[in-house]
């Protein structure tokens, strides 16, 4: 409790001020006590007058008088008599001078400390409230709210810091908006260019179909294969653009059979399909067109880099609202290094050394990630026991009623 209370800056400053004043008052009081209590008491003198006002005797206190002793004088008169005069000390109230009210030093110290505490608190609190406002603004800005600003009050160092923070935040917000606008412009240009390529590709394909066979059949097959790859690339670019611009939100989500969908795609590329022990097919809410593309991209990616059989396994995990369908695609390829397992889902990113391989431009896995996130799921790449890679997609399943 105490550590939580003293963790605030204004509390620490306030306590430091109060402690400083207390120590200073203590030192001043100690110095005052020493200055008013000299080690040797002063010599006192007494004069005795007669009725006529004449001095008939005088005496002084002893030099070895101790503190607390009564004043005692031995007065020798002019007629030869010796008078002993004693002046008892007055009775003091009980207790030490440090605690004796109302002017004891301890009481004065407490009053001074209370006055300083009451006077310093609002001043220190006002200063630290501005620092806390700056802290809240920085936390909001750091959490992603680039429009966060802090109030500038006064003309001291705190106000200067707040002003510089606002200036830096405004510049960064402007730069981010410019970058977003530039990226959107590039995506729009890429999507429009890809869409415009559809027409010449269709004419080339039609002309290729009208060509005869014979000696040029090998070249025609190669041209047809290149056209198919280019057409697939255009299709992926357009789909990625639609996903980025949220146009895919218009895709109808319906209850679909994931097992049947996976079986169709596995049969298309001759991949093995395995399912966990269960009595019913996996069903979930989603877009059949997008999920078909997700499974197709995973299988084609595995087929492209695998030297052996490709398999797809279906299963589920969790229970109740946490139920998730699991799609796992396994290959026997070279695998993915641990430091690259996140980057391979970036658009147009390819593993080092993969540029010479046939097919693939780095969009397939990026589309897998976009489609998975659109369905509220997650995707990851894992090392496969025995070599190769496993791509695991988890998608939420509807709660059984």
pLDDT-wise least confident of 39-43, 80-84, 192-196: 192-196
- For residue range 48-70, what is the model confidence (pLDDT) as tens digits? 787 877 877 787 777 777 766 77
Q: Burial of 279 by CB count in 10 Å (0-12 exposed, 13-18 middle, 19+ buried)?
A: exposed
Is residue 116's pLDDT more than 50?
A: yes
Query: Across all residues in the chain, what is the average pLDDT?
Result: 76
Please give the pLDDT value at position 356: 46
Please give the pLDDT value at position 269: 84
Please give the pLDDT value at position 53: 78
Across 107-116, 135-144, 232-241, 358-367, the highest mean pLDDT is recorded for 135-144
Which residues touch 78 (CB under 8 Å, ≥6 apart)? 56, 57
Q: What percent of the chain has pLDDT over 90?
A: 5
Is residue 29's pLDDT more than 80?
A: no
User: 197-221 burial string, b = 16+ CB within 10 Å, else e?
Assistant: eeeeeeeeeeeeeeeeeeeeeeeee
Which residues touch 336 (CB under 8 Å, ≥6 apart)? 344, 351, 381, 383, 389
Please give the pLDDT value at position 195: 61
Please give the pLDDT value at position 393: 93
Q: What is the mean pLDDT of residues 123-132?
A: 77
- For residue range 289-321, what is the model confidence (pLDDT) as tens digits? 889 889 988 998 888 887 778 889 998 888 877
Report residue 394's pLDDT band, with 50, 70 and 90 as the boundaries: very high
What is the spatial distance between Cα 60 and Cα 50, in angstroms, rounded to a whole number?
A: 19
pLDDT-wise least confident of 84-93, 135-144, 162-171, 329-338: 84-93
Please give the pLDDT value at position 348: 76
């Amino acid at each position: 409790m105490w550590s939580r209370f003293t963790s605030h800056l204004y509390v620490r400053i306030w306590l430091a001020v109060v402690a400083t004043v207390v120590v200073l008052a203590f030192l001043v009081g100690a110095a005052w006590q020493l200055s008013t209590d000299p080690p040797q008491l002063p010599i006192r003198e007494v004069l005795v007058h007669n009725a006529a006002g004449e001095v008939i005797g005088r005496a002084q206190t002893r030099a070895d008088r101790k503190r607390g002793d009564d004043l005692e004088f031995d007065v020798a008169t002019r007629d030869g008599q010796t008078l002993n005069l004693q002046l008892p000390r007055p009775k003091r109230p009980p207790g030490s001078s440090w605690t004796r009210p109302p002017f004891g030093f301890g009481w004065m110290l407490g009053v001074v400390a209370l006055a300083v505490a009451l006077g310093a608190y609002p001043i220190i609190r006002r200063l630290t409230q501005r620092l806390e406002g700056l802290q809240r603004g920085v936390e909001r800005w750091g959490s992603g709210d680039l429009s966060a600003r802090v109030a500038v009050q006064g003309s001291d160092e705190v106000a200067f810091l707040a002003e510089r923070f606002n200036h830096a935040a405004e510049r960064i917000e402007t730069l981010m908006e410019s970058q977003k606008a530039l990226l959107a412009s590039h995506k729009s240009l890429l999507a429009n260019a890809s869409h415009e390529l559809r027409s010449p590709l269709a004419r080339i394909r039609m002309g290729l179909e009208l060509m005869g066979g014979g000696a040029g059949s090998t070249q025609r097959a190669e041209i047809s294969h290149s056209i198919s790859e280019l057409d697939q690339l255009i299709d992926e670019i357009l789909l990625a653009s639609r996903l980025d611009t949220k146009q895919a939100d218009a895709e109808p989500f319906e209850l679909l059979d994931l097992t049947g969908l996976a079986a169709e795609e596995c049969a298309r590329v001759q991949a093995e399909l395995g399912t966990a022990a269960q009595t019913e097919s996996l069903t979930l809410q989603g877009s059949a067109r997008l999920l078909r593309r997700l499974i197709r991209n995973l299988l084609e990616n595995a087929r492209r880099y695998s030297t052996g059989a490709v398999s797809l396994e279906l299963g589920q995990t969790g229970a109740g609202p946490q139920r998730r369908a699991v799609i796992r695609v396994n290959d026997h390829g070279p695998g993915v290094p641990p430091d690259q397992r996140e980057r391979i889902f970036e658009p147009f990113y390819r593993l080092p050394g993969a540029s010479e391989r046939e097919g693939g431009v780095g969009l397939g896995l990026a589309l897998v990630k976009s489609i998975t996130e659109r369905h509220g799921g997650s995707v990851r790449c894992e090392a496969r026991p025995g070599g190769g890679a496993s791509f695991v997609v988890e998608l939420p399943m509807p709660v059984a009623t």
